[in-house]
Structure 1
């Protein structure tokens, strides 16, 4: 396993840093975090960036070490669920997320809520999705707040987009995911007036903490001149940083910037991009 050695080195360094560090987290948990942590997970250690998608080559390693660490930390259970989902083992992913949610993982609650809301991998149940999003939102998870607002309809006051803005604004003081989610609401005019300047400020704040989605949005805002100056070079820089972190929309945007002209057939379907 070519990727295992450098990651294992990091784990051994973490354990060698001192007795308290060794007791705090095992090598299995360090490895699990390094290759399977979600950037938006509130349980994620601050020194771990996380990955938007687990690299295909890392999936077997993630399953192995996250499974071994699952008894030590609820975030390892959540990350094990991510690894199973990446491997298209949805029954195992759901089981891991249920266990993590039972232990208080708000990220696992959100993932289960999304599955219930969409009917992916389980029977569609909007009421159950709402309960899970509410639990996550009440615990301060930004995705729980935004997903609850998106679900809309009847329910607690948290389902009100205006209320969601208030909750996100509080969390956005320190949390990059909340900054990103609040930026989206401001940009789209959900829960209050549209405000591109404020949205750009939120995206910029989250981008400063290497949030992939916020970096991509900053690229789009700079490219379009929304909420501030129009700057193609700056847009490209933001897109590149987001793409380096695995953001697929940013990768597409980079190609569009580099190859702005397209050839289409008679039906209007894309045939090829022209690069100059």
Structure 2
């Protein structure tokens, strides 16, 4: 379940399908989010009024389908979301990663302390990714690593991002392999090491990752 991947030249935003400690005095926002999640609402059987404004009933129905698409499980959208949240709260890592994805994309909606609806809740996403990552879920480790790399919902921490990408990459996550390769190549979050970068790019390229293949070509073209 990948949110974003690094290349040598650009950051490519993907649709989600599918995470170095700093000062001991600064508590990780991911740890906070993993234990205290904000009150949440969801666009389930009824859309919030802020989303219904200006839409016809047909448009509201279409929006609801996009936010919580139907599945052949006999459940209503509301039942499906509540089932997923129940599984996540019970400790299921796959469900936790899925919940993180919903909050990252805005398919699950939270309110801030004033009651205003957020378009995205990156803190809640980080909290759910953190829970799954702690259980060794490779996709969640990758996703949380992206949040640390970007400073989204958690403090920006390249060393922590590299640590999480490595854990995910070691489990075979191809995008994590490419990302940690980039970090070794440029020396971000880890000590610069072209040989390690090439090794990770080769692992990802062997799985068909086009970005890693391009990164290898770029390295070879520069004579490294």
Once the two structures are TM-superposed, the CA of residue 228 in structure 1 deviates from its matched residue by: 1.3
Q: How many residues are aligned here?
A: 141
Residue in 2 aligned with 1:152? Answer: 106
Structure 2 residue runs of 5 or longer lacking an equivalent are 2-58, 70-76, 89-93, 112-117
Larger displacement relative to structure 2 (251-260 or 152-161): 152-161
2:220 aligned to which of 249, 253, 258: 258
The runs of at least 4 aligned residues of structure 1 exceeding 4 Å deviation read 123-126
Matched, 1:221 2:183: yes
Could you state the TM-score of these two structures normalised by the residue count of structure 2? 0.54
Once the two structures are TM-superposed, the CA of residue 142 in structure 1 deviates from its matched residue by: 5.9
For 1:233-248, list aligned pairs within 5 A: 233-248=195-210
Q: 1:144 to 1:127 in 2, by over 3 A?
A: farther
Residue in 1 aligned with 2:173? Answer: 211
1:194 aligned to which of 137, 156, 159: 156
CA RMSD of aligned residues (A): 3.1
Q: Distance in 1 between matches of 2:214 and 2:95?
A: 29
Residue in 1 aligned with 2:67? Answer: 130
Residue in 2 aligned with 1:162? Answer: 123
**Could you say which structure has the larger radius of gyration?**
1
Q: 1:153 to 1:244 in 2, by over 3 A?
A: closer
Work out which structure has the larger RCO, using CA pairs closer than 8 Å and 6 or more positions apart in sequence: 2
SS at match of 2:109: coil
Q: Distance in 2 between matches of 1:126 and 1:255?
A: 43
Higher helix share: 1
Once the two structures are TM-superposed, the CA of residue 146 in structure 1 deviates from its matched residue by: 4.6
Once the two structures are TM-superposed, the CA of residue 153 in structure 1 deviates from its matched residue by: 8.3
Q: Distance in 2 between matches of 1:161 and 1:216?
A: 24
